[in-house]
């Protein structure tokens, strides 16, 4: 079933006889997708004010359409959403609602925050078929509870979003990347030094075949100055070079996990305390890619690897993005599970919205 | 301001309630002498006051849990309090409630520069968080104007912002984890020293929930390396509209200053009389601050100068020294004190889309004439968070009521213009009964269902945020 308006969406949820598998573009098939497919095709930009850095858009709008519209005004989504389709082996067009539902954030997460940090408003239909709005289209808003954050990363399990509003940022006219030739296990220390410097780093990761990478963005003279400062700062860690023309390609490759595209194995995503990265890289084995200064580890491992056991003990959480793990998302500690179970019962009392998707 | 009628049986059981709290807490952690509890009868919205049954001042998460568990068992409402600087009555007590103050919990528990976080007890003041790391070159970004006095627990409750949040975000964008004690006395760890929490974003829900979902006793906060330098410019204009247009043009040009502050003529005049900052005599002025190395700041200010010149400013003043920078900020930072010297005032906190600035300022001027009360405007223009100050005389009968009516009209105007009732102060008791201007019943119902989950008996700060009528049945149960 495909809905193209909020009213149709509310009706579809109210009339549902059983589970609904909520989907946007279907490019993020993580976890179980049970029930009748419900495709959210509510599309189009409702409001765009470049001078106020705000955008309101139908949840089913293709991400590419949104990015093109705001790029025309020299702006961008601060959180640099990744395109997981190719690495997850699916075709289709990612939608903004899907991006929000999965709280997808790219390398700029270290500087500009996650998707949820840029999300300032949403309208959604809860499991009772009620239309609910929260947040708005202004950057600062503390009127009532922040359900906006709750909706981001809820994978369509609490409500089906019809509209989302974002805070935007000016696109940087210039960027450069400092590349340090060192192995993954040694990267985190160098990246922490970069992130602890005053040079406003907007990306810090490790890419197979390239090495540790540190990005700066902004006005041209400022980028040149900061790249040079960082180059000097990174010299003790290994051979260093500054990439200008190739900078954008490096970050697209890291963001979209290009080194892993088309390769067999299970794909895991671990969000951890950065200082644990070196040790985890050694214990996990397999191929890895690091982002967020080592705080995000992508690992490609032999099928059936028990990643949580290999990684244990560790701080944070692990998600099986592709593969046959029994439990896709990190099991919740008991006190948290009590709260989230009760929240789900309030928002979706019939248990029809993407049931089991986050388990 | 209407408050629910206190429950007679709770008032009657005061000795029993205090005795129970003394059983589970150290002797000096429970106060019930009215001469001592008087200090807790209001927060910074001091027009409204109410003596609580008692006050508890725990020293640890375990003591907070013990106090909450006891109050839960006895059915006593609890009003959490950080430093009591809330401007919306968020920590004003009810007569049948116990105030739970966190001021004694102010330790730094952990600083970690490798992983860029600090973990503190939640009663610690905002500025002293930065104080704990600044000698090593780091800072905590959210900077509410009350940062010298306000506590992190209150910042989390209200999701506080500040002048620099245009670049660095507000509290929710800088909060990594909390230790939360539920009304039932359960201790729950949410998030931690890593960037994305797993599962549902409970942290985002707690932040800004005005102390209604649980009591935050510890917080893991993101810290940032200090920029190399910062420099403000002051730009004067002969109309509010032109100043507003200049703000939009600066943002559209791709420059992201750390702060863009706006003051109108009544505010400029008052601050000049108060602190002689040397501001130009004009209709509106902007203070724009840029950060980075000297060369970077030069580049940004060069672009701002070009943009401003197109709008024919009456003055463009760039700070050439630390002393000049301080003078540029002096008037802005003294604005509230300056207005207080002239008159009593009520400070509003509405947010609007920046594009609506000229319209909203004009309309506020008209409303000000209609109500016969002067309004001065000083606000964070980069993010549209306005703080109209309504001047009135509290000693003249009827003026406070008139002032409240004008305030409500201005906040409704903010909502009509596409904005919201509060950008950083919170709803508290102050804007509680305006919530249905911004929200439909289903929107409020969805929020109240969240409280049902965390606090099924509605004992935590119960008469705040939601219109009394909307929450009545839940509070009664």
Q: What is the pLDDT of residues A230-265, one digit of tens each?
A: 999 999 999 999 999 999 999 999 999 999 999 999
Contacts of B372 (CB under 8 A, 6+ apart): B402
Q: Does B181 touch chain A (CB under 8 A)?
A: no
| Of B151, B219, B152, nearest in space to B181 by CA | B219
Q: What's the pLDDT band for A174 if we cut at 50, 70, 90? A: very high
* Interchain proximity A144–B169, CB inside 8 Å: no
Question: Based on C-alpha coordinates, what's the Rg of chain B?
Answer: 23
Q: Which of B299, B351, B465 sits opposite A144 (nearest CB)?
A: B465
A285-298: pLDDT as tens digits: 999 999 999 999 99
Indicate the pTM of the whole model.
0.96
Place of tokens 């939640």: B122
Chain A and chain B share a number of CB contacts under 8 A equal to 266
List C-alpha distances in Å: B331 to B246, B272, B273, B403: 21, 7, 10, 25
Q: Residue B203's pLDDT is what?
A: 98
| Structure tokens given for B367 | 């409303």
Q: Residue B248's pLDDT is what?
A: 85
Q: Residue A250's pLDDT is what?
A: 98
Q: Residue B256's pLDDT is what?
A: 82
Question: Based on C-alpha coordinates, what's the Rg of chain A?
Answer: 21
Q: Does B408 touch chain A (CB under 8 A)?
A: no
- In B, minimum Cα distance to A147 occurs at B205
Does residue B419 contact residue B442 with C-beta atoms inside 8 Å? no
Q: Residue B477's pLDDT is what?
A: 72
Q: Residue A215's pLDDT is what?
A: 98
| Of B117, B215, B206, B216, nearest in space to B159 by CA | B206
User: How far out from the chain centre does Cα A145 lie?
Assistant: 23
Cα–Cα distance between B20 and B68 in angstroms, integer? 11
Distance from CA of A154 to the nearest CA of B (A): 6
Q: Is the dihedral of CA B85, B88, B90, B94 positive or negative?
A: positive
Q: Does B15 touch chain A (CB under 8 A)?
A: no
Q: Which of A113, A143, A197 sits opposite B173 (nearest CB)?
A: A113
Supply the DSSP string of B304-315, one letter for each residue: HHHHHHHT--SE
* Interchain proximity A225–B251, CB inside 8 Å: no
Q: What's the pLDDT band for A351 if we cut at 50, 70, 90? A: very high
- In B, minimum Cα distance to A167 occurs at B383
Q: Residue B41's pLDDT is what?
A: 97
A180-195: pLDDT as tens digits: 999 999 999 999 999 9
| Of B252, B251, B190, nearest in space to B215 by CA | B190
Q: Residue B254's pLDDT is what?
A: 79
* Interchain proximity B196–A271, CB inside 8 Å: yes
Does residue B279 contact residue B235 with C-beta atoms inside 8 Å? no
**Contacting B residues, span 141-160, partner chain A, CB-CB under 8 Å:** 158-159
Average pLDDT over residues A314-332: 91
| Of B38, B73, B30, nearest in space to B55 by CA | B30
Contacts of A319 (CB under 8 A, 6+ apart): A30, A268, A269, A270, A328, A329, A330, B198
Give the β-pairing of A296-301 and A266-272: antiparallel
Mean pLDDT by 10 residues, chain B (477 residues): 93 98 97 96 93 98 98 98 96 97 98 98 98 98 93 98 88 98 98 93 98 98 96 95 90 86 92 92 95 90 96 96 94 86 89 89 94 91 90 91 95 97 95 96 98 98 97 91
How many alpha carbons fall within 13 Å on the CB side of residue B15?
1
Average pLDDT over residues A139-162: 97
- 3-class SS of residue A188: helix
Contacts of B207 (CB under 8 A, 6+ apart): A146, A149, B156, B159, B171, B172, B175
Sheet architecture: strand order including A36-40: A2-3, A36-40, A20-23
Place of tokens 């501001």: B279
* Interchain proximity B427–A142, CB inside 8 Å: yes
Indicate whether A160 pLDDT > 80: yes
- 3-class SS of residue B382: coil
Q: Residue B108's pLDDT is what?
A: 98
* Interchain proximity B353–A54, CB inside 8 Å: yes
Please name the helix (run of DSSP H) or strand (run of DSSP E) that holds residue B263, with its range, or none: strand B259-264
Instruction: Indicate whether this complex's ipTM tops 0.90.
Output: yes
Instruction: Residue A174: list chain B partners with CB under 8 A.
Output: none
Q: Does B306 touch chain A (CB under 8 A)?
A: no
Cα–Cα distance between A75 and A62 in angstroms, integer? 17
For residue B227, the 8-state DSSP code is P
Q: Residue B55's pLDDT is what?
A: 98
* Interchain proximity A200–B227, CB inside 8 Å: yes
Distance from CA of B250 to the nearest CA of A (A): 8
- B-interface mutation test, from A143, A173, A313, A318, most B Cβ less than 10 A away: A143
Contacts of A326 (CB under 8 A, 6+ apart): none
Q: Residue A51's pLDDT is what?
A: 85
Q: Does B402 touch chain A (CB under 8 A)?
A: no
* Interchain proximity B380–A292, CB inside 8 Å: no
């Amino acid at each position: 079933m495909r809905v193209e308006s909020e009213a149709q969406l509310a009706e579809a949820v109210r009339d549902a006889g059983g589970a609904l598998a909520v989907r946007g573009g279907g490019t993020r098939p993580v976890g179980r997708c049970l029930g009748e497919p419900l495709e959210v095709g509510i599309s189009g930009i409702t409001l765009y004010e470049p001078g106020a850095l705000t955008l309101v858009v139908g949840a089913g709008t293709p991400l590419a359409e949104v990015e093109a519209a705001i790029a025309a005004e020299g702006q961008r989504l601060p959180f640099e959403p990744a395109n997981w389709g190719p690495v997850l082996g699916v075709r289709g067009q990612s939608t903004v609602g899907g991006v929000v539902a999965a709280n997808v954030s790219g390398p700029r997460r270290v500087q500009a925050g996650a998707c949820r940090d840029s999300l300032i408003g949403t309208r959604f239909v809860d499991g009772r078929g009620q239309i609910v709005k929260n947040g708005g289209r202004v950057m600062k808003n503390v009127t009532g509870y922040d359900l906006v954050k709750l909706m981001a990363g809820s994978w369509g399990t609490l409500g089906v979003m019809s509209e989302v509003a974002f805070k935007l940022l000016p696109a940087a006219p210039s960027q450069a990347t400092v590349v340090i030739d060192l192995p993954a296990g040694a990267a985190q220390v160098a990246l922490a030094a970069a992130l602890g410097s005053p040079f406003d780093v907007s990306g810090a990761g490790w890419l197979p075949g390239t090495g540790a990478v540190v990005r700066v963005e902004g006005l041209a003279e400022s980028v040149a100055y900061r790249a040079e400062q960082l180059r000097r700062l990174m010299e003790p860690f290994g051979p260093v070079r500054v990439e200008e023309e190739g900078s954008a390609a490096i970050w697209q490759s890291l963001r979209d996990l290009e080194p892993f595209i088309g390769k067999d194995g299970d794909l895991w995503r671990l969000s951890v305390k950065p200082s644990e990265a070196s040790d985890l890289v050694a214990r996990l084995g397999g191929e890895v890619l690091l982002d967020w200064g080592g705080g995000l580890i992508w690992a490609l491992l032999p099928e059936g690897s028990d990643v949580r056991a290999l990684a244990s003990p560790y701080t944070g959480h692990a998600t099986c993005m592709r593969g046959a793990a029994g439990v896709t998302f990190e099991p919740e500690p008991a006190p948290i599970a009590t709260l989230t179970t009760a929240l789900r019962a309030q928002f979706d009392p019939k248990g029809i919205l993407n049931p089991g998707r986050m388990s | 301001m209407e408050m629910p009628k206190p429950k007679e049986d709770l008032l009657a059981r005061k000795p029993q309630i205090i005795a129970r709290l003394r059983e589970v807490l150290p002797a000096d952690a429970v106060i019930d002498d009215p001469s001592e509890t008087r200090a807790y009868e209001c927060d910074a919205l001091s027009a409204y006051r109410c003596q609580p049954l008692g006050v508890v001042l725990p020293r640890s998460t375990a003591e907070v849990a013990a106090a909450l568990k006891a109050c839960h068992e006895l059915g006593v409402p609890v009003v959490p309090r950080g430093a009591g600087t809330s401007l919306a009555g968020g920590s004003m007590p009810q007569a049948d409630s116990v105030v739970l103050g966190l001021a004694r919990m102010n330790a730094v528990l952990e600083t970690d520069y490798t992983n860029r976080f600090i973990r503190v007890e939640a009663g610690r003041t905002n500025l002293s968080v930065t104080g704990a790391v600044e000698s090593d070159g780091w800072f905590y970004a959210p900077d509410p104007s009350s940062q010298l006095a306000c506590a992190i627990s209150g910042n989390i409750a209200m999701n506080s912002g500040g002048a620099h949040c245009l670049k660095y975000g507000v509290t929710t964008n800088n909060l990594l984890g909390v230790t939360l004690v539920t009304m039932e006395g359960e201790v729950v760890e949410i998030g931690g020293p890593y960037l994305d929490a797993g599962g549902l974003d409970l942290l985002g829900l707690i932040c800004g929930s005005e102390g209604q979902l649980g009591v935050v006793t510890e917080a893991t906060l993101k810290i940032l390396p200090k920029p190399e330098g910062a420099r403000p410019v002051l730009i004067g204009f002969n109309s509010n509209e032109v100043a507003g247009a200049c703000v939009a043009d600066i943002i559209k040009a791709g420059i992201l200053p750390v702060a863009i502050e706006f003051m109108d003529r009544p505010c400029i005049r008052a601050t000049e009389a108060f602190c002689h900052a040397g501001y130009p005599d004009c209709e509106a002025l902007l203070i724009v601050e840029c950060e980075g190395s000297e060369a970077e700041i030069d580049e940004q200010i060069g672009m701002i100068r070009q943009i401003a010149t197109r709008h024919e400013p009456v003055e463009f003043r760039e700070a050439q020294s630390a002393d000049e920078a301080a003078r540029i900020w002096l008037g802005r930072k003294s604005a509230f004190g300056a207005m207080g010297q002239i008159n009593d005032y009520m400070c509003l906190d509405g947010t609007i889309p920046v594009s609506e600035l000229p319209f909203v300022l004009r309309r506020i001027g008209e409303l000000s004439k209609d109500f016969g009360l002067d309004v001065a405007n000083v606000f964070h223009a980069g993010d549209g968070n306005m703080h109209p100050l309504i001047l009135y005389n509290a000693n003249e009968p009827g003026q406070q009521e008139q002032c409240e009516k004008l305030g409500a009209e201005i906040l409704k105007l903010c909502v009509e213009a596409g904005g919201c009732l509060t950008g950083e102060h919170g709803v508290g008791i102050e804007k509680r009964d305006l919530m249905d201007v911004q929200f439909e019943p289903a929107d409020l119902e969805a929020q109240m269902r969240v409280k049902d989950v965390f606090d099924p008996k509605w004992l935590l700060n119960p008469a705040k945020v939601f219109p009394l009528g909307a929450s009545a049945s839940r509070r009664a149960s």
